[in-house]
Structure 1
Amino acid sequence: MTTISSSPIIILVAGHWLGAWAWDEVLEHLAAVQMRAIAMTLPGLDADDPARATRTLDDQASAVLDLMAQEGVSEHEPAILVAHSGANAPVSLVLDRHPELVQRVVWVDSGPVAPGSIFAPDIPDDVQELPLPALDVVARQASLEGLDTQVLERFQARAVPEPGPVLRQPVELSNDARRKVPTTMVCCSIPGAQVLELARAGHAMFAEVANLERLDVVDLPTGHWPMWSRPGDLAQAIKSAASRSN
């Protein structure tokens, strides 16, 4: 049996508008199977931070690395990074800067970004932040399958506007070693076979997937927020990924 003392630390990073709270149910399931996990709130997504809207992707990547250092992560004891949705940009930066610190990366309805990617290049410089859109708008951009009224109300109540600098900053990547890090893609709103097909076709959102050297694909059919719609199954997928040998 895997024990807390022997398992690698799992660091959970949620996507846009979300903080560590988004992983509460997943953390409960991981703890129940003796997995050592911690969730974090990226800079810019802490509602109590007065300088929140000025935070950048570099700030976010640095915060992930700082947390890894605090948790004793090293080349000899690397971490499992779990990145949901828009957390792919800062986590891609972490993989580029210190791939040796990551035993495996798990993308949750997400994937690595390509060099030079900008999430929202058309957002004007004077827009300081992007609040969570109305749910009907969100539903046109990402699947809300599996989310009941109570969950959606919590999402709206707790969502923090995404900082403008995070959305406008290009993701500068130069270290090909990031592509050698063992990778698991947990595909939810788009089936894994379709993701791989899009990657092979050079689709901008998935093109970087084709460059990964060690990739496992897991289908978990649900909407874009599986930490709420299927938390137990997502925790099991993370546990299985974390337990795999390199």
Structure 2
Amino acid sequence: MEIVLVPGFWLDASSWSEVTPALVEAGHRVHALTLPGLESRDAPRAGIGLRDHIEFVARKVDALEGDVVLVGHSGGGAVIHGVADLRPDRLARNVYVDSGPPAEGQPINEELPADADEIPLPPWEEFMDEDLVDLDDRLRADFIARAIPHPKAVATDGIRLTDDRRLDVPVTVIACEFPSRVIEDAIAAGEPWVGELARIRDVEYVDLPTGHWPQFTKPAELGAAIVEALRER
């Protein structure tokens, strides 16, 4: 299977480096991406929006043969959902790592503090405690060393969705900072933040208890969870 790994905010392709060995060992072909504006700290970020990231990943899907699996962490979840809307017939599954699919017009996060056209990594005290579970001092220092400011418009643009066939793409949600029962209870209650997920016709949940960055805190377990999600059913 062709697996495309889409990082979340402030991260590039290297953030998946400890996850990919399990995927390769299982026989998959792995393509970890660095999204536009995340090439370096000096890369230009003005004018780069969510649609640019979605179309960038869609072009990668077009370059691959056969069905593709997209894995999106955090803000990367919005990106892979946008690709499901553009290329629903090319995707075998979308895997959301501590993320989920946004509804039409929904931005990823309008509240992140920006500096002109970019959003720097905020101080740790601005994150929720649940985000930081298992992210020890060494991992935090490594994160800071690798962090790249994110293009502001990627966070603030509302997603555009036009093809309901995206709802036929099977989905796996890997729940980390909150257990999957929280998501399922929210769906049962009709809460808006899970409205799009509730519309998807084939969804499975996997619990991987840790903080918001399992690719750092539990990379082997995350790799195993992705491999398991792709086993034939």
TM-score (norm 2): 0.93
Match 1:11 to one of 4, 9, 18: 4
Match 1:60 to one of 45, 53, 63: 53
SS class of match (2:8): coil
Question: Using a 3 Å threshold, how does the CA distance of structure 1 residues 244 and 110 change in structure 2: closer, same or farther?
Answer: farther
Match 1:159 to one of 140, 144, 147: 147
Q: Which amino acid aligns with 2:208?
A: L
SS class of match (2:131): coil
Asked if structure 2 preserves the Cα contact closer than 8 Å seen for 1:29 and 1:231, the reply is: no
Asked if structure 2 preserves the Cα contact closer than 8 Å seen for 1:129 and 1:164, the reply is: yes
Of residues 115-124 and 87-96 in structure 1, the stretch that sits farther from structure 2 once superposed is 115-124
- Aligned partner of 2:88 in structure 1 is 99
- Aligned partner of 2:179 in structure 1 is 191
Q: Which amino acid aligns with 2:118?
A: E
RMSD after superposition: 1.9
Taking the aligned partners of 1:46 and 1:204, their CA distance within structure 2 comes to 34
Q: Is 1:82 the equivalent of 2:71?
A: yes
Of residues 145-154 and 108-117 in structure 1, the stretch that sits farther from structure 2 once superposed is 145-154
Question: Using a 3 Å threshold, how does the CA distance of structure 1 residues 220 and 128 change in structure 2: closer, same or farther?
Answer: same
Match 1:137 to one of 126, 129, 137: 126
Q: C-alpha offsets along residues 50-96 of structure 1, whole Å, 9 cap, x if unaligned?
A: 42232111111111112122233xxxx11010011111222111111
Taking the aligned partners of 2:115 and 2:138, their CA distance within structure 1 comes to 34
- Aligned partner of 1:128 in structure 2 is 117
1:124: how far off? 9.4
SS class of match (1:52): coil
1:29: how far off? 2.3
Q: Is 1:69 the equivalent of 2:57?
A: no
SS class of match (2:17): helix
1:122: how far off? 5.8
TM-score (norm 1): 0.88
Taking the aligned partners of 2:218 and 2:90, their CA distance within structure 1 comes to 29
Asked if structure 1 preserves the Cα contact closer than 8 Å seen for 2:72 and 2:79, the reply is: no
Asked if structure 1 preserves the Cα contact closer than 8 Å seen for 2:19 and 2:215, the reply is: yes
- Aligned partner of 1:5 in structure 2 is none
Q: C-alpha offsets along residues 84-123 of structure 1, whole Å, 9 cap, x if unaligned?
A: 1111222111111111110000011111111110234467
Taking the aligned partners of 1:201 and 1:14, their CA distance within structure 2 comes to 30
Q: Is 1:114 the equivalent of 2:103?
A: yes
Q: C-alpha offsets along residues 136-194 of structure 1, whole Å, 9 cap, x if unaligned?
A: 11245x51111221211111111111111112211011211111111111111111111
Structure 2, unaligned stretches of length 5 or more? Answer: none
Of residues 85-94 and 45-54 in structure 1, the stretch that sits farther from structure 2 once superposed is 45-54
Q: Is 1:221 the equivalent of 2:209?
A: yes
SS class of match (1:60): helix
- Aligned partner of 1:4 in structure 2 is none
1:135: how far off? 1.1
- Aligned partner of 2:197 in structure 1 is 209
Taking the aligned partners of 1:215 and 1:31, their CA distance within structure 2 comes to 24
Structure 1, unaligned stretches of length 5 or more? Answer: 1-7
